[in-house]
Chain A
């Protein structure tokens, strides 16, 4: 059986024209890198600007008088704290506390919310959202007609000011503006991102996206940046220690285990999964997602087993955990990663051992992001 042809974003032709290396990601044909390569794109984003096509992600609108209550039923964060034009990171959980998806909730106005979800989960989320909220509000999947571009890096706002008269640099973090003109294209602009850098994410109609993309590429290039692919997006988010659904989060991991307790607000309302998470919190966590820095020569990658003690030569120990994300951190200059380990081993400074394809390499558990922007 042949895999279905991957979907293309509205920017596919632009990527090909820029010499991108395209790969199949979550059913989408996406650029993994352009001509300069992943490392160059990573550094360009940290030092100037990286532009990312994130149009594969899903945009789901909740409208009607029941919108706020519906969104609160679905997500763990306190939706009631949002004001118009503000956004928050959150997760949606199953009744058993496992994560359906991680997402960003945008409050447009009291009866209109936008939720941006992972590309790999769009259909799953829609089914879940609709089942969870019934007819309490109107749920519209705007993903097919909406394109999304992330414009990230220390020069992002300066470059953006050359394309728009709107005072976008005054947007506070996790706030957004609707109906802004950027390079003559009407879009929504949010001060959010997935790189650990300052920057924005822009939403526009798919038909206008290539025009907006070209203008952003030109402005970024003038500021020492350029287009960046999924490869750099992954190294950037890993350094910033942002989780990736499907790797660090999935239907079996709870937000508490994943270190996302800060987006679980038990007093916010009766969201799905609340009682399971409360019970888990009261019982104490058995495992936690820990960040680690490799000490020896080796790169702990997704799926590699983690041991509490170094198994002796020839012996097969029993792994206590597993690496969920890992790779080189180009800015931090170390091999870094994350993985689930027993809670006792998640303490900073703990020595753990990663089986890098037969080579046991030690790693040290670290608290917080590997990289913080200056």
Chain B
């Protein structure tokens, strides 16, 4: 399952993904993160209009077992949140790269995306950190 790492997305060591389209970046968590978490039962996200800062906690995901922080892959203003997740958090388990996206931000510093990993680098990172 955790080998589900789409190319074209950028990745963090905290297992978030980012889809960059111009100044807009859509953010979610990776299949690996989902596999680790198990069933997600609740998501706490920032509000539209909030600003998030790269590396800082911008929300949390509660699974049956535990709560996990979400770390911002980039800085920017939140322009959209995936509101259906409030009623259907299982989208994150079912389609982490699609219906299970979390927020969309407007980049404040486009150069920040340069420090994120491409899919092959993330795959290597996962292999190197496998237990």
Contacts and interface: CB of A to CB of B under 8 A. Distances in A.
A37 interface: yes
Contact of B64 (A21, A330, A357): A330
Contacts of B39: 37-39
Contacts, number: 37
Nearest to A33: B38
B38 A38 contact: yes
Contacts of A328: 41-42, 62, 64
A361 to B, nearest CB: 11
A235 B64 CA distance: 8
B42 A38 contact: no
Interface in B23-58: 35, 38-39, 41-42, 44
B44 to A, nearest CB: 8
* Most chain B CB inside 10 Å of its own CB: which residue of A235, A301, A327, A330: A327
Interface string A86-102: 00000000000000000
Contacts of B44: 297
Nearest to A229: B38
Given A33-B38, A231-B38, A39 B64 contact: yes
Interface in A192-239: 231, 234-235
Contact of A299 (B35, B38, B42): B42
Contact of B38 (A37, A297, A301, A330): A37
14 contacts: A32-B38, A32-B65, A33-B38, A37-B93, A38-B38, A38-B39, A39-B41, A297-B42, A297-B44, A301-B67, A328-B42, A328-B62, A330-B64, A357-B67
Interface of B: 35, 38-39, 41-42, 44, 60, 62, 64-67, 93
Interface of A: 21, 32-33, 37-39, 231, 234-235, 297, 299, 301, 327-328, 330, 357
